[in-house]
């Protein structure tokens, strides 16, 4: 019985590890700040949705001239909104992934 539990535990851990690797294997998009102001928020959503998803910068700030790599949950068409230190919004609509590997906030 103990061996069965060990085998089941190893199986569960392998499945969980595979899921984590799969979840982290989405496309990566480089987002560059070329607007001249610090970017405090970057929101990303699928192009066919009305709501913005959560802020991908979290606690970070994207300074002018810096680039951040953003892992997307999958391929498709995405919209991006960045908000700078003055509260100005920069929106990029219809980014196709794969196909685009970099966007610039200007």
- CATH assignment of the domain containing 100: 2.60.40
Give whole-number Cα distances, 67 to 15, 24, 49, 102, 103, in Å: 34, 20, 26, 9, 10
CA nearest neighbour of 27 among 81, 94, 105, 95: 95
Domain boundaries, position 96: 27-105
Q: In the predicted model, is pLDDT for residue 4 greater than 70?
A: no
pLDDT (tens digit per residue) in 10-37: 444 444 443 444 445 789 999 999 999 9
Does 89 map to a domain? yes
Asked, for residue 5, whether it belongs to a domain, the answer is: no
Our count of domains for the chain comes to 1
> Residue 13 falls within a domain, yes or no?
no
pLDDT digits (tens, 9 = 90+) for 30-85: 999 999 999 999 999 999 999 999 899 988 999 999 999 999 989 999 999 999 99
Residue 10 forms part of a structural domain: no
pTM of the complete model: 0.72
Burial status of residue 105 (CB atoms within 10 A of its CB: 0-12, 13-18, 19 or more) = buried
Domain contains 16: no
């Amino acid at each position: 019985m103990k061996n069965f539990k060990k085998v089941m535990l190893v199986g569960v851990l392998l499945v969980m590890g595979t899921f984590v690797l799969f979840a982290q294997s989405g496309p990566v998009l480089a987002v560059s700040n070329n607007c001249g102001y610090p970017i405090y928020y970057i929101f990303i959503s699928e192009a066919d949705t009305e709501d913005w998803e959560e802020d991908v910068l979290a606690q970070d700030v994207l300074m002018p001239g810096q680039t951040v790599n953003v892992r997307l949950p999958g391929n498709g068409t995405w919209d991006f909104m960045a908000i700078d230190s003055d509260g100005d919004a920069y929106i990029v609509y219809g980014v196709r992934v794969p196909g685009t590997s970099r966007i610039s906030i200007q």
